[in-house]
């Protein structure tokens, strides 16, 4: 089977971004399928390009790179323009490439355009992969305020669903949301996967000196309001005020609030309690995560984020690390049932501090949760298991 995959944020483990498409496509190629990914240049990816369009091959996956740079720190209008540029240019490959099925991976919702071109002009089956509920996410975070544009985007969202032979969501919550709003579709949930081989490896990279022989909780990813980064800073300030020794909060990433938090850390003399490291490849991230007390997923207090499926959750499970998170959806249920983490109030940094102290002082509980986390990753979220689930369902529609 020949698969054409439209996804703007492709990265391998050498980058600092989720590797779902890379891992699934690599598995499908090993099974004898031909996979072509049309992507762009994301600031956290390892891909670079000099020409407008470049062709590469990575582990058997054919990569078409459109030299359009996307960065979370771009002005919203600039980001929207990059989405439109990608969709228009990518549509040419929906016409010119040879394939049996086309996959559009959203957000942004505009990535549905080249998929629809393949559906309408080439009469191919379309799979719509829903990473985020667009435009709901953009609206709830205040990025999309124009009412007319909102209605237009909702209409386009429904149009994409109606023209899809298969819808793949990244969480059970997203699947339920779509079915409640638009009715019954051929829809499945295939969450992000756990790369157990990578996150159980003994990395050649070691921890920096300031993290050796100390307890710390770790957050990886975008540093900004959606990810409730300020709450982590406030928790570190509580740790300092209470005089708690040998406990730190570590952030690894980049984003809108990174410079602000670095400045506040200096002003409030929190360098021994709150540390921020630059983006790093997944391969270098492994020891930071594996030696942490807990992995933090502090999403903002927005009900829509209850449907999210952050890649850092599955990396944490694969590394065998307890998770502390803030949403009230499927992740909360999962952590509770599998006894591998905690859910806290997103507006209560003191609650986070109390749980970190509990993990720090109770090795038996922490080790039990870590073991449960790894077993959950192995039995329910391994990348091979989920890659097979998705390709099996794609084969059915053909």
Q: Residue 141: what pLDDT?
A: 67
- Judged on CB neighbours under 10 Å (0-12, 13-18, 19+), 69 is middle
Same-domain pairing of 212 and 84: no
Give the structural domain span for 57.
2-193+382-397
pLDDT of residue 203: 64
Residue 247, beta-bridge partner list: 215
Q: pLDDT value at position 148?
A: 86
Q: What is the pLDDT of residue 303?
A: 85
206 burial via Cβ count (<10 Å: 0-12, 13-18, 19+): exposed
Which of 197, 201, 199, 191 lies closest to 387, judged by CA? 191
Q: Are 299 and 325 in contact (CB under 8 A)?
A: yes
User: 154 and 213 share a domain?
Assistant: no
pLDDT of 281 reads 87
Length of the chain: 398
Residues 186 and 164 in one domain: yes
Of the candidates 209, 202, 168, 200, which has an alpha carbon nearest to the alpha carbon of residue 185? 168
pLDDT score, position 256: 86
Same domain, yes or no, for 280 and 168? no
Per-residue pLDDT of the chain (398 residues), as tens digits, is 999 999 999 999 888 888 899 999 999 999 999 999 999 999 888 899 999 999 999 999 999 999 999 887 778 788 889 999 999 999 999 999 999 999 999 878 899 999 999 999 999 999 999 998 887 777 776 777 788 888 888 899 999 999 999 999 999 889 998 999 888 899 999 998 888 888 888 765 678 989 988 999 999 989 998 899 999 999 999 999 999 989 999 999 998 899 999 999 999 999 999 999 998 888 889 999 999 999 999 998 888 888 888 989 999 999 999 999 999 999 999 999 999 999 999 999 999 999 999 999 999 999 999 999 999 999 999 999 999 999 999 999 99
Q: Based on the fold, state whether residues 36 and 145 are members of the same structural domain.
A: yes
Strand partners, 324: 296, 342
Question: What is the C-alpha radius of gyration for the chain, rounded to an integer number of angstroms?
Answer: 21
Interaxial angle between packed helices 20-30 and 383-397, expressed in degrees from 0 to 180 and rounded to the nearest 10: 70
| Structure-token pair, residue 123 | 């009469």
Same domain, 285 and 296: yes
Q: Roughly what angle, to the nearest 10 degrees, separates helices 112-121 and 76-96?
A: 20
CATH number reported for the structural domain that contains residue 321 in this entry: 3.40.50.2000
Residues 56, 89 within the same domain: yes
Q: pLDDT value at position 27?
A: 96
Burial tier of 264 (Cβ tally within 10 Å: 0-12, 13-18, 19+): middle
- Same domain, yes or no: 139 and 179: yes
Q: Where are the alpha helices (DSSP H) in the chain?
A: 20-30, 76-96, 112-121, 136-140, 147-162, 172-182, 196-199, 229-241, 258-267, 282-290, 311-319, 330-338, 349-361, 363-380, 383-397
Strands 187-189 and 166-169: parallel
Question: Do 350 and 391 fall into the same domain?
Answer: no
Q: What CA–CA distance (Å, rounded) separates 314 from 220? A: 12
Q: How many CB atoms lie within 10 A of CB 132?
A: 20
CB within 8 Å of 344: residues ≥ 6 apart: 324, 325, 326, 351, 352, 355
| Cβ contact 3:21 at 8 Å | no
Distance CA 138, CA 132 (A): 9
Which run of H or E residues covers position 128?
strand 125-130
pLDDT of residue 34: 98
State the pLDDT at residue 135: 79
- Indicate if 172 and 226 belong to the same structural domain: no
Same domain, 305 and 180: no
Beta bridge partners of 70: 42
- Are 306 and 340 within one domain? yes
- What is the count of structural domains for the chain? 2
Q: Which of 154, 163, 105 is nearest to 134 (CA)?
A: 154
């Amino acid at each position: 089977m020949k698969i054409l995959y439209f996804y703007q944020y492709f990265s391998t483990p050498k980058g600092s971004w989720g590797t779902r498409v890379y891992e699934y496509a690599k598995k499908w190629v090993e099974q004898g399928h031909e996979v072509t990914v049309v992507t762009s240049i994301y600031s956290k990816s390892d891909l670079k390009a000099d020409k407008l369009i470049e062709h590469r091959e990575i582990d058997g996956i054919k990569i078409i790179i459109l030299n359009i740079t996307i960065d979370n720190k771009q002005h919203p209008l600039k980001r929207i323009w990059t989405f439109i540029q990608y969709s228009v240019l990518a549509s040419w490959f929906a016409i010119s490439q040879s394939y049996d099925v086309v996959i559009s991976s959203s957000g942004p919702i505009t990535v549905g355009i080249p998929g629809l071109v393949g559906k309408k002009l080439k009469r191919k089956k379309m799979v719509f992969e829903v990473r985020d509920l667009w435009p709901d996410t953009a609206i709830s975070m205040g990025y999309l305020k124009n009412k007319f544009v909102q209605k237009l985007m909702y209409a386009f969202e429904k149009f994409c669903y109606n023209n899809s032979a298969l819808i793949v969501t990244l969480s059970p919550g997203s699947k339920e949301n779509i079915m409640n709003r638009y009715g019954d579709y051929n829809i499945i949930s295939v969450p992000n996967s756990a790369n157990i081989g990578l996150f159980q490896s003994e990395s050649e990279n070691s921890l920096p000196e300031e993290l050796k022989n100390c307890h710390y909780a770790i957050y990886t990813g975008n540093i900004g309001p959606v990810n409730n980064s300020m709450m982590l800073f406030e928790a570190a300030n509580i740790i300092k005020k209470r005089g708690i020794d040998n406990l730190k909060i570590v952030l690894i990433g980049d984003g809108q609030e990174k410079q602000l938090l670095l400045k506040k850390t200096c002003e409030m003399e929190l360098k021994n309690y709150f540390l921020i490291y630059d983006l790093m490849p997944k391969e270098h991230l492994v020891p930071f995560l594996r030696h942490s007390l807990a992995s933090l997923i502090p999403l903002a207090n927005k009900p829509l984020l209850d449907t999210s499926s952050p890649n850092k959750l599955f990396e944490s499970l694969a590394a065998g690390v307890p998770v502390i998170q803030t949403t009230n959806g499927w992740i909360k249920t999962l952590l509770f049932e599998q006894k591998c983490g905690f859910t806290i109030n997103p507006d209560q940094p003191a609650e986070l501090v109390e749980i970190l102290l509990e993990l720090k002082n109770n090795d038996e509980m922490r080790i039990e949760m870590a073991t449960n986390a790894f077993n959950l990753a192995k039995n329910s979220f391994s990348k091979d298991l989920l890659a097979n689930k998705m390709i099996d369902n794609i084969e059915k529609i053909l």
